[in-house]
């Protein structure tokens, strides 16, 4: 049987990939990889970039190209069979990474390359690859005795399995809960778009009335617009108890023991490498220089936001009591009351804006904006292999030359992981003397077209799309040909959100909105009055939003810093303590936010969630240069392209930022953009 994952393809052969292809292909490519590297290490006498690093990168690329579509399909067209095959590959990949990361002979070759006379003549990208490699060898336990190296490998393998288990529990818990509402009378206040989506979902399941799930496009309208307080409470409870011992599916997909084991093993891993806690290990590869710097950064922002946050919450409570005649303001009321107050103060809602944000128009407008900023053009093509009929495919061109491509998968559906993300399909690098162009996956979970109406986005969803495309252009516009530091590779984790958050700024500017927004029926531009209201409403409850993100960041960092210490009292206790300091509202006792916090238990953000705020400071400060020179100033756009986007991870993130901005980053722009008076 021929196996498409073992054949060379420019793009993934999605339609040919069968579940039974996955494990044999990945197993073979892992073994090929291992044998090639070990033989290379054994045979090499005088290592150079060309005879050692380059060929190893090329054989590793074969494995990456095969596993990339497998991992992506597991997220976007999940099935029990696919999940099983995907999960079987994870420990094998982890073992390979650990084995090579602890190979002393391989480490010695890297050391020899760094000390050779030729090293001075290497490019910045080549030097950083070797320096990062030496650092990563140390973080892989290269200096450990054999017994401890073996334990390191066991820890990495088990953590990979646990991460997948956590993610699966959240996905299964999300899919397990539905609410079938028969009467429209129980859904007063819900926008037409949400009603149509829920009706279509019910029809698909051959049910009467309306069907709601815990996927964001279904969950969000209930919490924001539905006047039925009991329904809001029911949906809130189901959502914030997912994968826990609480709520409607209590104990069924419980992540409690998974979290405990993850934390225990991460601490053991950190201590093996002579760090006091996992947070110290985490920041060894980041811009931040110490745990104190991170905690100081988060607490400083919290201190500058808390007074305004409390004031915002008091205003919310007063409005709920006096205008909505509510006897109390509960957690399941906050989104609803916030939206009512927003409309009262600014007479603007996400639903009013939807008709101006038809998905196709927003997408084409976004391409127009990056063309103005960076001189790139984006062209759609229909000649490509896909995993789902809704997916689109585009080529990116610069000066008429094809430089990158990407898949765009916009809409929520069954068996697709929630949220939005960008992932690497192909990285830019030289393979057999030819340039391999970068390819990205851009994935969102918006409400799709209903009936004869096009897909209409909320302004929040437009912001999400720009965010992910910001990641995309970081990956695709790189000019670095060395794979380890090409595109998003090798970028410090707390700087990787800079381009994504940076691009969001254009959806808040009139000049940007004029390009992306027009009424889907009349073709009218979004009216100035509506833009004024949107901008006036932009910083509504901004301190509350700031504190919410700081709560997540502080919880994550304190958890990974304090776990296992004498004063540690448990996950819930850490979260409760953080909430007591930075939250302005009471959280129900049954809330189990941590059980669904995939970023830190199943993603790459363990002791790194602070990176979002850290990068937000960078992005706000970077955008302030455009504010000074004009938001479509091509010279400033070219400087951002050349200093940030094209350089990828080839130079230190702090140096790249200084090269663009002319100085170190400052928090003032973020506070100003957020409307927070420090």
Catalytic residues: 468
In angstroms, rounded to a whole number, what is the distance separating the alpha carbons of residues 243 and 263?
A: 17
Task: State the residue for tokens 């090639």.
Answer: 36
Query: How far apart are the C-alpha atoms of 560 and 307, rounded to whole Å?
Result: 28
Nearest-5° Cα angle at 219, 169 to 449? 110
In contact, 557 and 565? CB cutoff 8 Å? no
Helix, strand, coil distribution of the chain in percent, nearest 5:
60, 10, 30
Cα–Cα distances in angstroms (integers) from residue 323 to residues 345, 348, 349, in the given order: 13, 18, 18
Q: Three-class SS string for 456-504? A: ECCHHHHHHHHHHHHHHHHHHCCCCCCHHHCCCCCCCCCCCCHHHHHHH
Structure tokens at 652: 């230190």
Distance CA 396, CA 476 (A): 8
- Helix (H), strand (E) at residue 304: helix 291-322
Could you give the CA distance from residue 538 to residue 526 in angstroms, rounded to a whole number?
A: 16
CB neighbours of residue 460 within 10 Å: 14
Q: Which residue has the tokens 């850290």?
A: 614
Is-contact 585 539, C-beta < 8 A?
Answer: no
674 — phi, psi (to 5°)?
A: -85, -5
Using a 10 angstrom Cβ sphere, with 0-12 exposed, 13-18 middle and 19 or more buried, the burial of residue 375 is middle
What does R_g of the chain's alpha carbons equal in angstroms?
Answer: 25
DSSP H or E segment with residue 106: helix 104-115
Residue 620, helix vs strand vs coil: helix
Contact 351, 193 (CB under 8 A): yes
d(CA 225, CA 13): 43
CA separation for the pair 85, 324 (Å, rounded): 52
């Amino acid at each position: 049987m021929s196996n498409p994952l073992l054949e060379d393809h420019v793009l993934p052969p999605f339609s040919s990939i069968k579940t039974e292809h996955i494990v044999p292909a990945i197993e073979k490519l892992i073994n090929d990889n291992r044998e090639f590297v070990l033989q290379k290490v054994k045979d090499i006498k005088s290592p150079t970039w060309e005879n050692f690093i380059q060929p190893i990168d090329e054989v590793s690329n074969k494995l990456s190209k095969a596993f990339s579509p497998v991992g992506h399909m597991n997220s976007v067209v999940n099935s029990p069979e696919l999940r099983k095959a995907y999960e079987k590959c994870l420990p094998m990949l982890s073992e390979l990474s650990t084995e090579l990361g602890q190979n002393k002979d391989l480490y010695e070759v890297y050391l020899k390359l760094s000390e050779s006379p030729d090293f001075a003549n290497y490019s910045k990208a080549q030097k950083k690859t070797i320096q990062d490699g030496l650092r990563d060898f140390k973080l892989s336990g290269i200096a450990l005795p054999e017994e401890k190296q073996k334990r390191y490998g066991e820890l990495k393998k088990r953590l990979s399995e646990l991460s997948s288990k956590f993610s699966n529990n959240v996905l299964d818990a999300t899919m397990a809960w539905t609410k079938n509402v028969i009467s429209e009378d129980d859904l007063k206040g819900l926008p037409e778009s949400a009603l149509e989506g829920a009706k279509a979902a019910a029809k698909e399941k051959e049910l009467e009335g309306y069907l709601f799930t815990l996927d964001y496009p279904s969950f969000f309208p209930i919490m924001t617009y539905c006047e039925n307080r009991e329904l809001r409470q029911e949906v809130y409870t189901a959502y914030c108890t997912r994968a826990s011992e609480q709520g409607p599916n209590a104990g069924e997909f419980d992540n409690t023991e998974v979290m405990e084991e993850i934390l225990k093993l991460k601490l053991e891993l950190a201590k093996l490498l002579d760090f006091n806690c996992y947070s110290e290990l985490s920041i060894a590869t980041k811009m931040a220089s110490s745990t104190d710097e991170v905690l100081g950064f988060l607490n400083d922002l919290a201190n500058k936001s808390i007074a305004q946050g409390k004031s915002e919450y008091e205003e919310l409570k007063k409005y709920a009591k006096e205008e909505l005649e509510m006897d109390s303001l509960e957690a399941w009321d906050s989104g609803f009351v916030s939206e009512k107050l927003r409309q009262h103060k600014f007479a603007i809602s996400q639903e009013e804006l939807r008709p101006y944000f038809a998905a196709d128009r927003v997408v084409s407008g976004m391409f127009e904006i990056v063309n103005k900023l960076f001189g790139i053009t984006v062209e759609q093509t229909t000649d490509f292999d896909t995993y789902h009929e809704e997916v689109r495919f585009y080529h990116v061109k610069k000066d008429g030359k094809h430089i990158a491509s990407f898949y765009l998968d916009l809409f929520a559906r069954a068996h697709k992981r929630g949220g939005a993300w960008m992932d690497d399909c192909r990285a830019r690098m030289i393979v057999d003397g030819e340039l391999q162009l970068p390819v990205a996956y851009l994935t969102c979970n918006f409400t799709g077209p209903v009936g004869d109406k096009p897909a209409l986005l909320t302004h929040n969803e437009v912001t999400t799309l720009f965010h992910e495309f910001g990641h995309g252009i970081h990956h695709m516009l790189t000019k670095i040909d060395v794979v380890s530091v090409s595109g998003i590779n090798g970028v410090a984790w707390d700087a990787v959100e800079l381009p994504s958050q940076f691009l969001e700024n254009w959806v808040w500017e009139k000049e940007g909105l004029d390009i992306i927004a027009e009424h889907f029926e009349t073709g009218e531009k979004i009216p100035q009055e509506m833009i004024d209201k949107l901008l006036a409403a932009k910083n509504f409850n901004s301190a509350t939003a700031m504190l919410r993100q700081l709560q997540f960041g502080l919880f994550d960092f304190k958890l990974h810093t304090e776990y296992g210490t004498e004063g540690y009292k448990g996950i819930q206790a850490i979260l409760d303590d953080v909430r007591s300091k930075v939250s302005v509202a009471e959280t129900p006792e049954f809330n189990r936010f941590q059980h669904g916090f995939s970023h830190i238990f199943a993603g790459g953000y363990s002791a790194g969630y602070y990176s979002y705020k850290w990068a937000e400071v960078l992005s706000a400060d970077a955008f302030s240069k455009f504010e000074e020179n004009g938001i479509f100033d091509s010279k400033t756009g070219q400087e951002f392209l050349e200093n940030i986007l094209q350089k990828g991870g080839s130079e230190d993130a702090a140096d790249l930022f200084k090269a663009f901005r002319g100085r170190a980053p400052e928090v003032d722009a973020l506070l100003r953009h957020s409307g927070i008076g420090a």
